[in-house]
Structure 1
Amino acid sequence: MSEQLPSGGIELSPGEIDALHVRWSSCWPPSEVAQQLAGIGAPWYVAAGWALDLFRGRQTRAHGDIEIAIPAASFPEVRYRFPGYVFDAVGSGRIWEDATPEVLAAVHQTWLRDPATGNYLLDVFREPHEGDTWICRRDERIRLPYSDIILHTRDGIPYLAPELVLLFKAKHARRKDQSDFNATVPYMSPAQRETLAELLDRVHPGHPWIADL
C-alpha cells in the first residue's frame, strides 16, 4: 500500500470519531462473518481483540467492532460476497465512502457499511503478501506462510495467532491492549511466548512486555 493518502474523503473531528461506536453497534459476531465468507478461496482470519477471545475459547470483554484480514489481492473476492453493501476506506482520521480502486490502493483499512442503516458491520484489513506468504505491515522483514499464522476454533472460525495479535497491540498498548496481554499470555505455549518476545524485540525494542514473557 502507498503511504501517500489520496485526496478527497471526509475528515472527521475527534468527536465524530468517538461517535462512530454507535454505527458499529450492529457489527457481526465472528460466527456470522464465518458464515458470510464460507467457502471463500482466499485465506482470511479474525484479527485484534476478537482473535484473542477465539484463542481463549470464550468472549472475555465487549468488542466495539470486528476486524478481519485478507491478502490485499483477494479483496475483490470478499467484495463480491456483499453485493448489497458498500465499502468505505478509512485512514488518518478520514473516510472515503464507497471507495474507488485508487483509494483502496492507498490505504489498508476498509469498513463494510449497510447503506440502508448507515451502520458498519465488518472491518476488513487488506494486508501485504507475496502469494501465500503473509507480510507484516509493521516490519516487512517478518514473513510467514498463512498456514503458520492462521489458527481455527473447534467450529472452524479462522483467527490470527495470538503472538501476532499482541505484536500489533504492542504499538499503542492502550488499557484494553494491556488487559488483553495479561489475560492471553497464561494461555500461550512457551514457543508462542518466545516468538512474541523475539518479535517485540525486533519491532519494538525495549517494550515492557518483553520482560513479562
Structure 2
Amino acid sequence: MHPDIEAWQAWDPRVAARRLAGLPAPWYVAAGWAIDLFTGGTPRDHEDLEIAVPSGRFALVPPLLPDCDFWVPQGEGRLVPLSAATLAGESHQTWAYERAAGRWRLDVFREPHDGDMWICRRAEDRIRRPYTEIIRHTDDGIPYLTPEVVLLFKAKAARAKDERDLSGALPLMTATQRGWLRDALELVHPGHPWLRVC
C-alpha cells in the first residue's frame, strides 16, 4: 500500500537524536531546523524534519528505525519503496514512514562524501569540508549542520522562510562563517542577491 504523501507529522529533532543514538556515522539535522538549533530561539513552524548522513553509510540508518519503512521521492509527487535501484537514482532524499502511526517522520538526505570529507552536492565536487567542521551540537547534544552551509542550500530557492532564516542566522555568524558563505555563493550562485548582505 502506498502511504499518503501528505501524511507528515515529523519528529522533533530531539526525538530523532534519541532514535539515532549510537549511529556509527556522522549525521546532522539539516535545513530550517538546523537554523533554529543554531539560533536557539523559538522554532518556526516546520513541515518536515531533514537530517543528512554520508551516502555510503546510509545503510546504517534503517536498522535503528525498525518501525519505519523507507521511500524515495521520484518527482511529481511520486514515491517508490527503497531499493538498490532507487538508492542509485538521482534523488538524494529518503523518507521514513512510521508504520504504526501512519505518518512520515523524517527525510534522510544521502550526501556525497569522500571518507570523512563532506562534498557539496550542488558544487560538482568543488566544495569540500571535513565533517568535524560542518557539524555543530546543541547544549543537549543534537548535531546540526553549520549555518553557512545550510544557507548555501537555502539560497537556491530563497523563499520567504529562507529569507527569515538568513536574517535570523547572519547576526550570530562569525566573520569566518560569513566569508565562507560569500565565497560559496559566488561559486554556486554567482550574483545572488544574498551576496549584498553577507
Q: In the TM superposition, what whole-angstrom CA distance separates every residue of 1:142-191 from its partner, at most 9, and x where no partner exists?
A: 01110010001111110001000000000010111111111111111111
Give the structure 1 partner of residue 56 of structure 2. 73
1:151 and 1:158 in contact (8 A); partners too: yes
Give the structure 1 partner of residue 31 of structure 2. 48
Please give the alpha-carbon distance, in whole angstroms, between the structure 2 residues aligned to 1:85 and 1:141: 35
| Residue 57 of structure 1: how far off its partner (Å) | 1.2
When structure 1 is superposed on structure 2, of 87-96 and 180-189 the one drifting more is: 87-96
2:196 is the counterpart of 1:201? no
One-letter identity of the residue aligned with 2:133: D
2:80 and 2:86 in contact (8 A); partners too: no
Please give the alpha-carbon distance, in whole angstroms, between the structure 1 residues aligned to 2:149 and 2:74: 22
Root mean square deviation, CA, Å: 1.5
Please give the alpha-carbon distance, in whole angstroms, between the structure 1 residues aligned to 2:28 and 2:184: 20
| Residue 49 of structure 1: how far off its partner (Å) | 0.3
Give the structure 2 partner of residue 64 of structure 1. 47
| Residue 94 of structure 1: how far off its partner (Å) | 4.1
Between the two proteins, what is the percent identity of the paired residues? 51
Please give the alpha-carbon distance, in whole angstroms, between the structure 2 residues aligned to 1:163 and 1:73: 24
1:96 and 1:103 in contact (8 A); partners too: no
Give the structure 1 partner of residue 167 of structure 2. 182
Q: In the TM superposition, what whole-angstrom CA distance separates every residue of 1:185-206 from its partner, at most 9, and x where no partner exists?
A: 1111111111111110110000
| Residue 116 of structure 1: how far off its partner (Å) | 3.1
1:129 and 1:135 in contact (8 A); partners too: yes
Q: Structure 1: state its 5+ residue gaps.
A: 1-9, 11-15
Please give the alpha-carbon distance, in whole angstroms, between the structure 2 residues aligned to 1:207 and 1:164: 15
Secondary structure (helix, strand or coil) at the match of 1:125 reads strand
Secondary structure (helix, strand or coil) at the match of 2:108 reads strand
Secondary structure (helix, strand or coil) at the match of 1:75 reads helix
Please give the alpha-carbon distance, in whole angstroms, between the structure 1 residues aligned to 2:34 and 2:17: 13
Q: Select which of 117, 120, 126 maps to 1:141.
A: 126
Please give the alpha-carbon distance, in whole angstroms, between the structure 1 residues aligned to 2:132 and 2:32: 21
Corresponding residue pairs, total: 194
2:157 is the counterpart of 1:157? no
1:166 and 1:181 in contact (8 A); partners too: yes
Could you tell me the TM-score, scaled by structure 1's length? 0.87
Secondary structure (helix, strand or coil) at the match of 2:81 reads coil
Give the structure 1 partner of residue 12 of structure 2. 29
Secondary structure (helix, strand or coil) at the match of 2:86 reads helix
2:75 is the counterpart of 1:92? yes
Secondary structure (helix, strand or coil) at the match of 1:97 reads strand
Q: Structure 2: state its 5+ residue gaps.
A: none
Could you tell me the TM-score, scaled by structure 2's length? 0.93
Please give the alpha-carbon distance, in whole angstroms, between the structure 1 residues aligned to 2:101 and 2:142: 27
Give the structure 1 partner of residue 158 of structure 2. 173
| Residue 93 of structure 1: how far off its partner (Å) | 2.2
